């Protein structure tokens, strides 16, 4: 299917390989880059109150920056998946199944507690 996540991975890899950047894409460098991009995303929220952020979500320039940083994070996640042979959709679905067992509805609904703190 055109536009699916696997096609996106192929497009990212083609972009990278055309520039001969694979040599820089060690797992450590990709993990560091993911963390840096996640920090750039977080930076957009730095010093803003919850109310200011709700207003920012209606601001075109803010949403454009948020979109850019979210895309950077996704690209590095997918490059890590490619590097490690992880199917991102299978991995996410398997994690959801595990989380459903960790966060049973009757005990976790409306609670922000981590599964290790739920009795
Ligand atoms: Mg960025």
Question: For position 12, what pLDDT does the model report?
Answer: 98
The conformation of residue 103, written as its DSSP 8-state character, comes to: S
Distance 44 CA to ligand 1 centre (A): 11
CA of 40 to the centre of ligand 1 (A): 6
| Beta-carbon count within 10 A of 78 CB | 20
Show me where the domains of the chain are located.
5-86, 87-119
pLDDT tier for residue 103 given thresholds of 50, 70 and 90: very high
pTM: 0.91
Ligand 1 centroid, distance to 100 Cα (angstroms): 32
Reported confidence tier of residue 2, pLDDT bands at 50, 70, 90:
low
CA–centroid distance, residue 43 to ligand 1 (Å): 10
> Would you say residue 53 has pLDDT above 80?
yes
Alpha-carbon distances of 46 from 49, 70, 74, 85, rounded to whole Å? 9, 16, 21, 34
Whether 7 has a pLDDT exceeding 90, the answer reads: yes
Question: What is the C-alpha radius of gyration for the chain, rounded to an integer number of angstroms?
Answer: 18
DSSP letters spanning the chain:
-TTSHHHHHHHHHHHHHHTT-GGG--HHHHHHHHHHHHHHHHHTTTT--HHHHHHHTT-HHHHHHHHHHHHHHHHHHHHHHHHHT--HHHHHHHHHHHHHHHS-HHHHTT----GGG--
Please name the fold of domain 5-86. Answer: Helix Hairpins (1.10.287)
C-alpha 77 – ligand 1 centre gap (Å): 13
Residue 45 CA to ligand 1 centre (angstroms):
14
* pLDDT given for residue 1 in this prediction: 56
Q: Percent of the chain at pLDDT above 90?
A: 87
Ligand 1 centre distance from Cα of residue 66 (Å) = 9
How far apart are alpha carbons 82 and 5 in whole angstroms? Answer: 12
**Distance from the alpha carbon of residue 63 to the mean position of ligand 1, in angstroms:** 14
């Amino acid at each position: 299917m055109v536009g699916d996540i696997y096609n996106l991975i192929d497009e990212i890899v083609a972009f990278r390989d055309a520039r001969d950047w694979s040599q820089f894409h060690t797992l450590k460098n990709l993990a560091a880059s993911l963390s840096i991009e996640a920090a750039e995303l977080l930076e957009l929220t730095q010093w803003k109150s919850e109310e200011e952020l709700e207003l920012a979500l209606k601001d075109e320039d803010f949403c454009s920056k948020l979109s850019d940083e979210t895309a950077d994070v996704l690209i590095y996640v997918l490059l890590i998946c490619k590097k490690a042979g992880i199917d991102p959709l299978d991995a996410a679905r398997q994690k959801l199944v595990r989380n459903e067992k960790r966060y049973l509805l009757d005990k976790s609904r409306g609670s922000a507690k981590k599964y290790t703190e739920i009795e």
